[in-house]
A = this chain, B = another copy of it.
Amino acid sequence: MGVLRKTKSVEVVLHEFSKDSSAISVITLVERLQLDMNKTTVYRILNKLEDDGIVHSFLGKNGHKWYAKCHNCSSAVHKDVHPHFQCISCGKVECLEINVPIPDIPNRKVEVSQILLQGKCEACYD
């Protein structure tokens, strides 16, 4: 499954990602687009955009879902398995373009790593 039709709603959602380079939580998106579309539509479009490798998702500090634009993904391979950074002051979430090497773990095969770092962001830094 993926995005098949270029609807108004899809364009509106895409626009939100194009104007903001940081990640957006679904909650924020639903709230921000409540006049444009139903929350069900937001959830469904995000699902499809992720299938298509256009955005990727991850969980913020409360276990709520966040989305951000992908840089080097396709529907086949989601390469964007970078860490994410959430500011504990302003709540903003960003993708970090760094590589965190995961040590080998005996008798276990790590396939996915989900790393959420929390602290003070650039703007909230003392």
Contact = CB atoms under 8 A, between A and B. Distances in A.
**Protomer copies:** 2
Nearest to A113: B117
A121 interface: yes
Given A63-B64, A65-B63, A100-B102, A109 B113 contact: no
A68 B108 CA distance: 20
A125 B115 CA distance: 23
Contacts of A105: 85, 96, 98, 117
A109 B116 contact: no
Interface in A66-90: 85, 88
Interface string A105-123: 1011111111111111110
A126 B64 CA distance: 33
Interface in A20-74: 59, 61-65
Interface of A: 59, 61-65, 85, 88, 96, 98, 100, 102-103, 105, 107-122, 125
Give the top 6 A-B pairs by smallest Cβ distance, nearest first. A63-B63, A111-B119, A112-B118, A110-B119, A114-B116, A107-B122
